[in-house]
Chains A and B, each alone.
Chain A
Amino acid sequence: MQRANVWGGVITVLTVLCALVWAFPLYWGVVSSLKPEDEVVRPFIELWPETLTFQHYVHAVTDTQIVAWYINSIAVAVGVTVITIVTSLLCGYALSQLRFPGRTALWWLILASFMVPTQALIINHFVLVAQLGLINTWAGIMLPQLIHPVIIIVYKQFFDQVPKDFREAAVMDNAGEFRILFRVYLPMNWGVTTALSIVTFIWTWNAFLWPFLSVTRTEMMTVPVGITQVNDAFGVYYARQLAAAVLAGLPVAVAYLLFQRKVTEAITLSAGIKG
Protein backbone atom coordinates (compact mmCIF):
# COMPACT_ATOMS: atom_id res chain seq x y z
CA MET A 1 0.00 0.00 0.00
CA GLN A 2 2.71 2.45 1.01
CA ARG A 3 4.81 1.51 -1.98
CA ALA A 4 1.87 2.30 -4.25
CA ASN A 5 1.55 5.75 -2.67
CA VAL A 6 5.23 6.51 -3.18
CA TRP A 7 4.93 5.55 -6.82
CA GLY A 8 1.78 7.61 -7.19
CA GLY A 9 3.63 10.61 -5.79
CA VAL A 10 6.56 10.09 -8.13
CA ILE A 11 4.25 9.92 -11.16
CA THR A 12 2.43 13.08 -10.07
CA VAL A 13 5.69 15.01 -9.64
CA LEU A 14 6.95 13.71 -13.01
CA THR A 15 3.74 14.79 -14.75
CA VAL A 16 3.95 18.30 -13.33
CA LEU A 17 7.65 18.59 -14.21
CA CYS A 18 6.94 17.33 -17.70
CA ALA A 19 4.20 19.95 -18.12
CA LEU A 20 6.61 22.72 -17.12
CA VAL A 21 9.26 21.50 -19.56
CA TRP A 22 6.56 21.14 -22.24
CA ALA A 23 5.44 24.75 -21.89
CA PHE A 24 8.99 26.09 -21.52
CA PRO A 25 9.48 27.01 -25.23
CA LEU A 26 6.38 29.22 -24.94
CA TYR A 27 7.80 30.91 -21.85
CA TRP A 28 11.17 31.27 -23.56
CA GLY A 29 9.60 32.89 -26.61
CA VAL A 30 7.71 35.42 -24.49
CA VAL A 31 10.68 36.22 -22.23
CA SER A 32 13.02 36.66 -25.20
CA SER A 33 10.58 39.13 -26.76
CA LEU A 34 10.87 41.26 -23.61
CA LYS A 35 14.66 41.54 -23.68
CA PRO A 36 16.67 44.23 -25.50
CA GLU A 37 18.21 42.84 -28.70
CA ASP A 38 21.76 42.72 -27.23
CA GLU A 39 20.59 40.66 -24.25
CA VAL A 40 18.79 38.19 -26.49
CA VAL A 41 22.02 37.14 -28.20
CA ARG A 42 24.12 36.73 -25.04
CA PRO A 43 26.01 33.43 -25.03
CA PHE A 44 24.40 32.08 -21.87
CA ILE A 45 20.91 31.34 -20.56
CA GLU A 46 19.09 34.08 -18.65
CA LEU A 47 15.62 33.04 -17.57
CA TRP A 48 14.53 36.60 -16.83
CA PRO A 49 15.43 39.83 -18.68
CA GLU A 50 17.98 42.08 -17.00
CA THR A 51 16.21 45.07 -18.53
CA LEU A 52 12.55 44.51 -19.23
CA THR A 53 11.50 46.25 -22.45
CA PHE A 54 8.40 46.54 -24.61
CA GLN A 55 10.28 48.25 -27.44
CA HIS A 56 9.80 45.27 -29.78
CA TYR A 57 6.05 45.41 -29.33
CA VAL A 58 6.07 49.13 -30.00
CA HIS A 59 8.14 48.42 -33.09
CA ALA A 60 5.75 45.70 -34.29
CA VAL A 61 2.74 47.98 -33.97
CA THR A 62 4.30 51.13 -35.40
CA ASP A 63 6.80 49.85 -37.99
CA THR A 64 5.11 46.76 -39.43
CA GLN A 65 1.66 46.25 -40.91
CA ILE A 66 0.50 44.10 -38.03
CA VAL A 67 -2.45 46.39 -37.31
CA ALA A 68 -3.74 45.86 -40.85
CA TRP A 69 -3.14 42.10 -40.52
CA TYR A 70 -5.09 42.13 -37.27
CA ILE A 71 -8.03 43.83 -38.95
CA ASN A 72 -7.89 41.28 -41.81
CA SER A 73 -7.69 38.34 -39.43
CA ILE A 74 -10.57 39.57 -37.27
CA ALA A 75 -12.76 40.29 -40.30
CA VAL A 76 -12.05 36.89 -41.87
CA ALA A 77 -12.41 34.92 -38.63
CA VAL A 78 -15.66 36.65 -37.66
CA GLY A 79 -17.06 36.28 -41.18
CA VAL A 80 -16.21 32.59 -41.43
CA THR A 81 -17.53 31.91 -37.93
CA VAL A 82 -20.88 33.63 -38.47
CA ILE A 83 -21.50 32.10 -41.91
CA THR A 84 -20.38 28.61 -40.90
CA ILE A 85 -22.40 28.56 -37.68
CA VAL A 86 -25.58 29.90 -39.29
CA THR A 87 -25.51 27.58 -42.32
CA SER A 88 -24.63 24.58 -40.13
CA LEU A 89 -27.35 25.44 -37.64
CA LEU A 90 -30.01 25.56 -40.35
CA CYS A 91 -28.79 22.40 -42.06
CA GLY A 92 -28.39 20.50 -38.77
CA TYR A 93 -31.92 21.45 -37.74
CA ALA A 94 -33.40 20.24 -41.02
CA LEU A 95 -31.52 16.94 -40.75
CA SER A 96 -32.61 16.43 -37.18
CA GLN A 97 -36.26 17.56 -37.21
CA LEU A 98 -37.62 17.34 -40.75
CA ARG A 99 -38.33 14.40 -43.03
CA PHE A 100 -37.63 15.32 -46.63
CA PRO A 101 -36.54 13.58 -49.83
CA GLY A 102 -32.76 13.37 -50.15
CA ARG A 103 -32.21 13.50 -46.41
CA THR A 104 -30.19 10.29 -46.28
CA ALA A 105 -28.20 11.29 -49.33
CA LEU A 106 -27.38 14.65 -47.72
CA TRP A 107 -26.28 12.89 -44.54
CA TRP A 108 -23.88 10.67 -46.49
CA LEU A 109 -22.61 13.67 -48.43
CA ILE A 110 -21.72 15.33 -45.13
CA LEU A 111 -20.04 12.21 -43.76
CA ALA A 112 -18.13 11.75 -47.02
CA SER A 113 -16.80 15.29 -46.86
CA PHE A 114 -14.71 14.32 -43.84
CA MET A 115 -12.48 12.47 -46.23
CA VAL A 116 -11.85 15.44 -48.52
CA PRO A 117 -8.32 16.74 -47.97
CA THR A 118 -8.69 20.47 -48.60
CA GLN A 119 -4.92 20.66 -49.11
CA ALA A 120 -5.41 18.68 -52.32
CA LEU A 121 -7.91 21.26 -53.58
CA ILE A 122 -5.61 24.31 -53.34
CA ILE A 123 -5.04 24.50 -57.09
CA ASN A 124 -8.72 24.60 -57.94
CA HIS A 125 -9.62 26.79 -54.99
CA PHE A 126 -7.11 29.26 -56.36
CA VAL A 127 -8.57 29.01 -59.85
CA LEU A 128 -12.09 29.47 -58.48
CA VAL A 129 -11.22 32.45 -56.30
CA ALA A 130 -9.19 34.01 -59.12
CA GLN A 131 -12.08 33.59 -61.58
CA LEU A 132 -14.37 35.30 -59.10
CA GLY A 133 -11.80 38.12 -58.88
CA LEU A 134 -11.40 37.58 -55.15
CA ILE A 135 -7.62 37.16 -54.82
CA ASN A 136 -6.34 39.58 -52.18
CA THR A 137 -9.78 40.12 -50.66
CA TRP A 138 -11.40 39.08 -47.38
CA ALA A 139 -14.09 37.18 -49.29
CA GLY A 140 -11.41 35.23 -51.17
CA ILE A 141 -9.64 34.25 -47.96
CA MET A 142 -12.97 33.22 -46.44
CA LEU A 143 -14.61 31.27 -49.26
CA PRO A 144 -12.84 27.86 -49.11
CA GLN A 145 -12.89 27.99 -45.30
CA LEU A 146 -16.68 28.24 -45.02
CA ILE A 147 -17.28 24.54 -44.52
CA HIS A 148 -16.85 22.57 -41.32
CA PRO A 149 -19.21 19.61 -41.78
CA VAL A 150 -18.53 18.42 -38.25
CA ILE A 151 -20.49 21.40 -36.88
CA ILE A 152 -23.62 20.18 -38.69
CA ILE A 153 -23.17 16.75 -37.16
CA VAL A 154 -22.76 18.18 -33.65
CA TYR A 155 -25.88 20.34 -34.10
CA LYS A 156 -27.87 17.35 -35.35
CA GLN A 157 -26.83 15.30 -32.32
CA PHE A 158 -27.83 18.07 -29.93
CA PHE A 159 -31.16 18.73 -31.66
CA ASP A 160 -31.92 15.00 -31.67
CA GLN A 161 -31.68 15.08 -27.89
CA VAL A 162 -34.26 17.83 -27.39
CA PRO A 163 -37.41 16.09 -26.03
CA LYS A 164 -40.18 15.82 -28.65
CA ASP A 165 -42.67 17.46 -26.27
CA PHE A 166 -41.16 20.88 -26.94
CA ARG A 167 -41.67 20.51 -30.65
CA GLU A 168 -45.21 19.19 -30.30
CA ALA A 169 -46.17 22.05 -27.99
CA ALA A 170 -44.77 24.59 -30.45
CA VAL A 171 -46.57 22.97 -33.39
CA MET A 172 -49.84 23.10 -31.41
CA ASP A 173 -49.26 26.85 -31.07
CA ASN A 174 -49.03 27.02 -34.84
CA ALA A 175 -45.41 28.07 -34.73
CA GLY A 176 -43.50 27.76 -38.03
CA GLU A 177 -40.20 25.91 -38.34
CA PHE A 178 -38.07 29.07 -38.17
CA ARG A 179 -39.87 30.13 -35.00
CA ILE A 180 -39.36 26.70 -33.45
CA LEU A 181 -35.69 26.75 -34.37
CA PHE A 182 -34.89 30.25 -33.15
CA ARG A 183 -37.23 30.35 -30.15
CA VAL A 184 -36.92 26.80 -28.85
CA TYR A 185 -34.05 24.77 -30.24
CA LEU A 186 -31.38 27.46 -30.52
CA PRO A 187 -31.92 28.95 -27.02
CA MET A 188 -31.79 25.44 -25.56
CA ASN A 189 -28.40 24.97 -27.23
CA TRP A 190 -26.67 28.29 -26.61
CA GLY A 191 -23.92 26.48 -24.73
CA VAL A 192 -22.81 24.34 -27.65
CA THR A 193 -23.34 27.25 -30.07
CA THR A 194 -20.87 29.48 -28.20
CA ALA A 195 -18.43 26.57 -27.85
CA LEU A 196 -18.56 25.84 -31.60
CA SER A 197 -18.27 29.54 -32.45
CA ILE A 198 -15.16 29.96 -30.31
CA VAL A 199 -13.35 27.03 -31.90
CA THR A 200 -14.39 28.03 -35.41
CA PHE A 201 -12.94 31.45 -34.70
CA ILE A 202 -9.71 29.87 -33.41
CA TRP A 203 -9.46 27.49 -36.40
CA THR A 204 -9.93 30.34 -38.85
CA TRP A 205 -7.55 32.67 -37.04
CA ASN A 206 -4.88 29.94 -37.15
CA ALA A 207 -5.41 28.90 -40.78
CA PHE A 208 -2.17 29.15 -42.74
CA LEU A 209 -2.06 27.41 -46.12
CA TRP A 210 -5.05 29.02 -47.84
CA PRO A 211 -4.57 32.59 -46.53
CA PHE A 212 -0.92 32.23 -47.55
CA LEU A 213 -1.86 31.24 -51.12
CA SER A 214 -4.76 33.60 -51.70
CA VAL A 215 -3.01 36.81 -50.70
CA THR A 216 -0.04 38.37 -52.46
CA ARG A 217 -0.28 41.93 -51.16
CA THR A 218 1.34 42.46 -47.78
CA GLU A 219 -1.41 44.70 -46.42
CA MET A 220 -4.08 42.05 -47.12
CA MET A 221 -2.35 39.24 -45.19
CA THR A 222 -3.73 37.65 -42.06
CA VAL A 223 -1.61 37.80 -38.91
CA PRO A 224 -0.18 34.24 -39.00
CA VAL A 225 0.89 34.69 -42.63
CA GLY A 226 2.10 38.26 -42.21
CA ILE A 227 4.53 37.50 -39.40
CA THR A 228 6.38 34.95 -41.54
CA GLN A 229 6.31 36.61 -44.93
CA VAL A 230 7.99 39.87 -44.13
CA ASN A 231 11.21 38.64 -42.61
CA ASP A 232 13.03 41.50 -44.28
CA ALA A 233 11.09 44.02 -42.29
CA PHE A 234 12.41 42.37 -39.15
CA GLY A 235 15.88 41.56 -40.44
CA VAL A 236 17.62 39.24 -38.01
CA TYR A 237 16.14 40.94 -34.99
CA TYR A 238 15.06 37.82 -33.14
CA ALA A 239 13.27 39.63 -30.32
CA ARG A 240 11.21 41.61 -32.82
CA GLN A 241 10.12 38.44 -34.59
CA LEU A 242 9.17 36.88 -31.29
CA ALA A 243 7.19 39.96 -30.24
CA ALA A 244 5.22 39.68 -33.49
CA ALA A 245 4.72 35.95 -32.79
CA VAL A 246 3.40 36.70 -29.30
CA LEU A 247 0.98 39.26 -30.75
CA ALA A 248 -0.19 36.68 -33.31
CA GLY A 249 -0.81 33.99 -30.72
CA LEU A 250 -2.27 36.24 -28.06
CA PRO A 251 -5.93 36.40 -29.21
CA VAL A 252 -6.31 32.61 -29.48
CA ALA A 253 -4.35 31.92 -26.30
CA VAL A 254 -6.53 34.40 -24.39
CA ALA A 255 -9.70 32.94 -25.95
CA TYR A 256 -8.59 29.50 -24.82
CA LEU A 257 -7.65 30.53 -21.29
CA LEU A 258 -10.91 32.46 -20.83
CA PHE A 259 -13.17 29.75 -22.24
CA GLN A 260 -11.09 26.70 -21.41
CA ARG A 261 -14.03 24.37 -20.79
CA LYS A 262 -15.97 25.49 -23.86
CA VAL A 263 -12.93 25.10 -26.10
CA THR A 264 -12.06 21.62 -24.86
CA GLU A 265 -15.72 20.59 -25.03
CA ALA A 266 -16.09 21.71 -28.64
CA ILE A 267 -12.80 20.14 -29.71
CA THR A 268 -13.70 16.79 -28.15
CA LEU A 269 -17.12 16.98 -29.80
CA SER A 270 -15.55 17.76 -33.15
CA ALA A 271 -13.52 14.55 -32.95
CA GLY A 272 -16.74 12.57 -32.59
CA ILE A 273 -16.55 11.96 -28.85
CA LYS A 274 -19.46 13.02 -26.70
CA GLY A 275 -18.11 15.14 -23.84
Chain B
Amino acid sequence: MLTNRRKDALVAAVLVAPFLAIYLLVFVWPTIQMFGISFTDAPLIGSGEWVGLDNYARLDSDPRFRTAAWNTAYFVLLTVLPGTVVALLIALGVARLKGRLQAAVLALFFLPYILPVSVVYLIWDWVLNFQFGILMHVFDLLGIDRIPITKSRTWFMPAVGIVTIWWTAGFSILLFLAGLRSIPAEIYEAAALDSAGRWTTFRRITWPLLWPVTTLVFTIQLIAQLKIFDQVYLFSQGGRPNDNVVLVYYVFQRAFQQDQGGRAAAVAVTLFVLVVVVSVLQFTLLRMAGGRR
Protein backbone atom coordinates (compact mmCIF):
# COMPACT_ATOMS: atom_id res chain seq x y z
CA MET B 1 0.00 0.00 0.00
CA LEU B 2 1.39 3.34 -1.00
CA THR B 3 1.47 6.06 1.56
CA ASN B 4 -0.63 9.12 0.80
CA ARG B 5 2.41 11.23 0.15
CA ARG B 6 3.86 8.87 -2.44
CA LYS B 7 0.51 8.37 -4.07
CA ASP B 8 0.10 12.16 -4.32
CA ALA B 9 3.52 12.49 -5.90
CA LEU B 10 2.74 9.79 -8.43
CA VAL B 11 -0.61 11.29 -9.42
CA ALA B 12 0.95 14.76 -9.59
CA ALA B 13 3.65 13.46 -11.92
CA VAL B 14 1.02 12.09 -14.29
CA LEU B 15 -0.99 15.33 -14.18
CA VAL B 16 1.99 17.61 -14.70
CA ALA B 17 3.80 15.49 -17.30
CA PRO B 18 1.93 16.60 -20.47
CA PHE B 19 2.43 20.27 -19.72
CA LEU B 20 6.02 19.79 -18.66
CA ALA B 21 6.87 17.80 -21.79
CA ILE B 22 5.52 20.52 -24.08
CA TYR B 23 7.19 23.19 -21.96
CA LEU B 24 10.59 21.55 -22.24
CA LEU B 25 10.16 20.94 -25.96
CA VAL B 26 8.96 24.39 -27.06
CA PHE B 27 10.34 26.71 -24.38
CA VAL B 28 13.43 25.34 -22.69
CA TRP B 29 15.09 23.44 -25.55
CA PRO B 30 14.74 26.24 -28.16
CA THR B 31 16.00 28.79 -25.62
CA ILE B 32 19.15 26.76 -24.94
CA GLN B 33 19.67 26.23 -28.67
CA MET B 34 19.20 29.92 -29.37
CA PHE B 35 22.01 30.80 -26.99
CA GLY B 36 24.11 27.99 -28.47
CA ILE B 37 23.92 28.92 -32.14
CA SER B 38 24.42 32.62 -31.39
CA PHE B 39 28.10 31.73 -30.84
CA THR B 40 28.39 29.99 -34.22
CA ASP B 41 28.17 30.90 -37.90
CA ALA B 42 25.38 28.40 -38.47
CA PRO B 43 22.86 28.84 -41.30
CA LEU B 44 19.14 28.62 -40.49
CA ILE B 45 19.15 24.81 -40.68
CA GLY B 46 22.36 22.96 -39.91
CA SER B 47 25.39 23.47 -37.72
CA GLY B 48 28.24 25.93 -37.96
CA GLU B 49 31.70 26.73 -36.65
CA TRP B 50 32.25 28.20 -33.20
CA VAL B 51 32.94 31.94 -33.60
CA GLY B 52 32.81 33.06 -29.97
CA LEU B 53 31.34 36.50 -29.49
CA ASP B 54 31.86 37.54 -33.13
CA ASN B 55 28.14 37.74 -33.90
CA TYR B 56 27.64 40.09 -30.99
CA ALA B 57 30.73 42.17 -31.75
CA ARG B 58 29.54 42.70 -35.32
CA LEU B 59 26.25 44.20 -34.18
CA ASP B 60 27.83 47.46 -33.17
CA SER B 61 29.02 48.20 -36.70
CA ASP B 62 25.95 46.78 -38.44
CA PRO B 63 23.92 49.75 -39.71
CA ARG B 64 20.77 47.69 -40.11
CA PHE B 65 20.94 46.49 -36.52
CA ARG B 66 21.31 50.10 -35.39
CA THR B 67 18.26 51.03 -37.45
CA ALA B 68 16.35 48.11 -35.93
CA ALA B 69 17.29 49.03 -32.36
CA TRP B 70 16.51 52.69 -32.92
CA ASN B 71 13.18 51.95 -34.65
CA THR B 72 12.13 49.62 -31.84
CA ALA B 73 12.92 52.29 -29.24
CA TYR B 74 11.11 54.90 -31.33
CA PHE B 75 8.09 52.64 -31.68
CA VAL B 76 8.01 52.03 -27.91
CA LEU B 77 8.13 55.78 -27.36
CA LEU B 78 5.31 56.34 -29.85
CA THR B 79 2.96 53.71 -28.49
CA VAL B 80 3.48 52.84 -24.81
CA LEU B 81 2.85 56.07 -22.93
CA PRO B 82 0.40 57.55 -25.48
CA GLY B 83 -1.47 54.24 -25.61
CA THR B 84 -1.75 54.10 -21.82
CA VAL B 85 -3.03 57.70 -21.62
CA VAL B 86 -5.57 57.22 -24.43
CA ALA B 87 -6.87 54.03 -22.82
CA LEU B 88 -7.16 55.71 -19.41
CA LEU B 89 -9.12 58.66 -20.85
CA ILE B 90 -11.47 56.36 -22.74
CA ALA B 91 -11.94 54.14 -19.68
CA LEU B 92 -12.83 57.16 -17.54
CA GLY B 93 -15.43 58.14 -20.13
CA VAL B 94 -16.84 54.62 -20.48
CA ALA B 95 -16.99 54.09 -16.70
CA ARG B 96 -19.50 56.97 -16.42
CA LEU B 97 -21.96 55.28 -18.77
CA LYS B 98 -24.51 52.76 -17.56
CA GLY B 99 -26.15 49.51 -18.66
CA ARG B 100 -26.59 48.79 -22.36
CA LEU B 101 -25.07 52.05 -23.53
CA GLN B 102 -21.89 51.19 -21.63
CA ALA B 103 -21.80 47.67 -23.08
CA ALA B 104 -22.32 49.00 -26.61
CA VAL B 105 -19.70 51.75 -26.32
CA LEU B 106 -17.18 49.37 -24.77
CA ALA B 107 -17.79 46.89 -27.60
CA LEU B 108 -17.02 49.60 -30.19
CA PHE B 109 -13.71 50.38 -28.50
CA PHE B 110 -12.87 46.74 -27.90
CA LEU B 111 -13.74 45.24 -31.29
CA PRO B 112 -10.43 46.10 -33.04
CA TYR B 113 -8.45 44.22 -30.36
CA ILE B 114 -10.25 40.98 -31.14
CA LEU B 115 -9.27 41.05 -34.86
CA PRO B 116 -6.24 39.41 -36.51
CA VAL B 117 -3.40 41.82 -37.24
CA SER B 118 -3.67 41.22 -40.98
CA VAL B 119 -7.31 42.35 -40.96
CA VAL B 120 -6.30 45.49 -39.08
CA TYR B 121 -3.58 46.01 -41.69
CA LEU B 122 -5.89 45.59 -44.69
CA ILE B 123 -8.49 47.96 -43.24
CA TRP B 124 -5.95 50.69 -42.42
CA ASP B 125 -4.01 50.20 -45.63
CA TRP B 126 -7.30 50.99 -47.35
CA VAL B 127 -8.05 53.98 -45.10
CA LEU B 128 -4.55 55.38 -45.69
CA ASN B 129 -4.39 54.51 -49.42
CA PHE B 130 -2.70 57.36 -51.26
CA GLN B 131 -5.06 57.35 -54.23
CA PHE B 132 -8.42 56.28 -52.84
CA GLY B 133 -8.09 56.21 -49.03
CA ILE B 134 -10.81 57.98 -47.08
CA LEU B 135 -8.20 59.81 -45.02
CA MET B 136 -6.82 61.39 -48.18
CA HIS B 137 -10.31 62.62 -49.07
CA VAL B 138 -10.44 64.18 -45.61
CA PHE B 139 -7.00 65.72 -46.22
CA ASP B 140 -8.30 67.17 -49.50
CA LEU B 141 -11.30 68.69 -47.72
CA LEU B 142 -9.05 70.23 -45.08
CA GLY B 143 -6.63 71.51 -47.72
CA ILE B 144 -3.74 69.34 -46.52
CA ASP B 145 -1.40 67.84 -49.13
CA ARG B 146 -1.80 64.10 -49.59
CA ILE B 147 0.95 61.95 -48.05
CA PRO B 148 1.91 58.41 -49.15
CA ILE B 149 1.94 57.52 -45.46
CA THR B 150 3.15 53.92 -45.52
CA LYS B 151 5.88 54.78 -48.05
CA SER B 152 7.11 57.81 -46.16
CA ARG B 153 10.13 57.66 -43.91
CA THR B 154 8.75 60.34 -41.59
CA TRP B 155 5.20 59.07 -41.26
CA PHE B 156 5.61 55.30 -41.33
CA MET B 157 6.39 54.71 -37.64
CA PRO B 158 3.91 57.29 -36.26
CA ALA B 159 1.18 55.86 -38.51
CA VAL B 160 1.88 52.26 -37.53
CA GLY B 161 2.04 53.48 -33.91
CA ILE B 162 -1.42 55.03 -34.15
CA VAL B 163 -2.82 51.92 -35.81
CA THR B 164 -1.27 49.82 -33.02
CA ILE B 165 -2.83 52.00 -30.32
CA TRP B 166 -6.16 51.73 -32.14
CA TRP B 167 -5.78 47.97 -32.35
CA THR B 168 -4.68 47.27 -28.76
CA ALA B 169 -6.33 50.01 -26.68
CA GLY B 170 -9.38 47.80 -26.04
CA PHE B 171 -7.26 45.52 -23.86
CA SER B 172 -5.89 48.38 -21.74
CA ILE B 173 -9.35 49.96 -21.47
CA LEU B 174 -10.66 46.69 -20.09
CA LEU B 175 -7.97 46.59 -17.40
CA PHE B 176 -8.58 50.22 -16.45
CA LEU B 177 -12.33 49.57 -16.21
CA ALA B 178 -11.71 46.61 -13.89
CA GLY B 179 -9.49 48.88 -11.80
CA LEU B 180 -12.08 51.66 -11.71
CA ARG B 181 -14.83 49.24 -10.68
CA SER B 182 -12.77 48.03 -7.74
CA ILE B 183 -12.67 51.52 -6.20
CA PRO B 184 -15.40 51.53 -3.52
CA ALA B 185 -18.32 53.92 -4.22
CA GLU B 186 -18.26 55.12 -0.60
CA ILE B 187 -14.96 56.90 -1.18
CA TYR B 188 -16.54 58.93 -3.98
CA GLU B 189 -19.60 59.61 -1.82
CA ALA B 190 -17.38 60.88 0.95
CA ALA B 191 -15.57 63.10 -1.54
CA ALA B 192 -18.92 64.43 -2.81
CA LEU B 193 -19.96 65.27 0.77
CA ASP B 194 -16.76 67.27 1.11
CA SER B 195 -17.86 68.91 -2.16
CA ALA B 196 -14.59 67.99 -3.85
CA GLY B 197 -14.45 69.05 -7.50
CA ARG B 198 -14.12 66.71 -10.45
CA TRP B 199 -10.40 67.30 -10.84
CA THR B 200 -9.65 67.05 -7.12
CA THR B 201 -11.58 63.78 -6.91
CA PHE B 202 -9.60 62.38 -9.83
CA ARG B 203 -6.24 63.55 -8.53
CA ARG B 204 -6.76 62.61 -4.89
CA ILE B 205 -8.81 59.41 -5.24
CA THR B 206 -9.04 57.85 -8.69
CA TRP B 207 -5.43 58.37 -9.79
CA PRO B 208 -3.69 57.03 -6.63
CA LEU B 209 -6.06 54.06 -6.34
CA LEU B 210 -5.67 53.28 -10.02
CA TRP B 211 -1.87 53.42 -9.86
CA PRO B 212 -1.30 49.63 -9.68
CA VAL B 213 -3.45 49.07 -12.79
CA THR B 214 -1.71 51.93 -14.58
CA THR B 215 1.66 50.32 -13.84
CA LEU B 216 0.35 46.99 -15.11
CA VAL B 217 -1.02 48.44 -18.35
CA PHE B 218 2.13 50.46 -18.97
CA THR B 219 4.52 47.56 -18.46
CA ILE B 220 2.40 45.06 -20.44
CA GLN B 221 2.41 47.53 -23.33
CA LEU B 222 6.14 48.11 -22.99
CA ILE B 223 6.96 44.41 -23.19
CA ALA B 224 4.51 43.85 -26.05
CA GLN B 225 5.89 46.71 -28.14
CA LEU B 226 9.53 45.62 -27.71
CA LYS B 227 8.44 42.47 -29.56
CA ILE B 228 6.74 44.36 -32.38
CA PHE B 229 6.86 42.71 -35.81
CA ASP B 230 3.56 41.90 -37.51
CA GLN B 231 2.25 45.39 -38.24
CA VAL B 232 5.64 46.74 -39.24
CA TYR B 233 6.22 43.83 -41.61
CA LEU B 234 2.78 44.06 -43.20
CA PHE B 235 2.82 47.82 -43.71
CA SER B 236 6.35 47.61 -45.14
CA GLN B 237 5.32 45.32 -47.98
CA GLY B 238 5.86 47.26 -51.17
CA GLY B 239 7.41 50.04 -49.12
CA ARG B 240 10.82 50.47 -47.48
CA PRO B 241 11.43 47.38 -45.32
CA ASN B 242 15.08 48.22 -44.74
CA ASP B 243 14.25 51.61 -43.26
CA ASN B 244 11.48 50.18 -41.10
CA VAL B 245 13.25 47.17 -39.56
CA VAL B 246 12.64 46.52 -35.88
CA LEU B 247 14.43 43.90 -33.76
CA VAL B 248 12.19 40.93 -34.56
CA TYR B 249 12.10 41.99 -38.21
CA TYR B 250 15.93 41.94 -38.23
CA VAL B 251 15.92 38.41 -36.80
CA PHE B 252 13.43 37.39 -39.49
CA GLN B 253 15.50 38.90 -42.31
CA ARG B 254 18.80 37.44 -41.15
CA ALA B 255 17.47 33.98 -40.41
CA PHE B 256 14.78 33.44 -43.01
CA GLN B 257 15.85 35.62 -45.92
CA GLN B 258 19.65 35.57 -45.62
CA ASP B 259 20.01 32.12 -44.06
CA GLN B 260 22.30 33.36 -41.28
CA GLY B 261 20.96 31.56 -38.21
CA GLY B 262 23.93 32.41 -35.98
CA ARG B 263 23.89 36.13 -36.63
CA ALA B 264 20.11 36.20 -36.30
CA ALA B 265 20.33 34.33 -32.99
CA ALA B 266 22.67 36.97 -31.56
CA VAL B 267 19.93 39.55 -32.04
CA ALA B 268 17.29 37.13 -30.76
CA VAL B 269 19.37 36.68 -27.59
CA THR B 270 19.68 40.45 -27.25
CA LEU B 271 15.91 40.79 -27.49
CA PHE B 272 15.42 37.89 -25.11
CA VAL B 273 17.66 39.43 -22.46
CA LEU B 274 16.04 42.84 -22.94
CA VAL B 275 12.55 41.44 -22.42
CA VAL B 276 13.63 39.41 -19.39
CA VAL B 277 15.22 42.47 -17.77
CA VAL B 278 12.12 44.58 -18.41
CA SER B 279 9.92 41.77 -17.06
CA VAL B 280 11.93 41.58 -13.85
CA LEU B 281 11.60 45.35 -13.51
CA GLN B 282 7.86 45.00 -14.13
CA PHE B 283 7.57 42.37 -11.42
CA THR B 284 9.40 44.58 -8.92
CA LEU B 285 7.41 47.64 -9.93
CA LEU B 286 4.07 45.83 -9.63
CA ARG B 287 5.01 44.60 -6.18
CA MET B 288 5.83 48.15 -5.14
CA ALA B 289 2.63 49.52 -6.70
CA GLY B 290 0.60 46.79 -4.96
CA GLY B 291 2.37 47.53 -1.69
CA ARG B 292 1.32 51.15 -1.81
CA ARG B 293 -2.32 50.25 -1.36
Contact = CB atoms under 8 A, between A and B. Distances in A.
A273 B213 contact: yes
Contact of B174 (A114, A227, A244, A268): A268
Contacts of A113: 23, 27
Given A12-B97, A117-B271, A4 B198 contact: yes
Given A90-B18, A98-B11, A147-B22, A253 B123 contact: no
Interface in A246-271: 246, 248-249, 252-253, 255-257, 260, 263-264, 267-268, 271
Given A25-B123, A98-B12, A120 B166 contact: no
A28 B122 CA distance: 12
A61 interface: no
Contacts, number: 268
B218 interface: no
B19 A91 contact: yes
A91 B115 contact: no
A124 interface: yes
B11 A177 contact: yes
A252 B108 CA distance: 14
Contacts of A172: none
Interface stretch (B28-36, B49-57, B59-67, B152-160): B28-36
Given A41-B132, A257-B107, A271 B275 contact: no
A55 B105 CA distance: 32
Interface residues of B, number: 89
Contact of B45 (A8, A130, A209): A130
Interface size class of A (residues with CB under 8 A): 35 or more
Nearest to A90: B15
A245 B127 CA distance: 14
A147 B23 contact: yes
A241 B174 CA distance: 31
**Nearest 8 pairs between A and B by C-beta?**
A15-B93, A124-B30, A224-B116, A100-B12, A115-B279, A94-B15, A29-B123, A245-B122
Interface of B: 5, 8-9, 11-13, 15-16, 18-20, 22-23, 25-27, 29-31, 33-34, 37, 44-45, 90, 93-94, 96-97, 101, 103, 105-112, 114-119, 121-124, 126-127, 129, 131-132, 134, 137, 166, 171, 174-175, 178-179, 198, 213, 216, 220, 223, 226-227, 229-230, 234, 237, 248, 251-252, 255-256, 261, 264-265, 268-269, 271-272, 275-276, 279-280
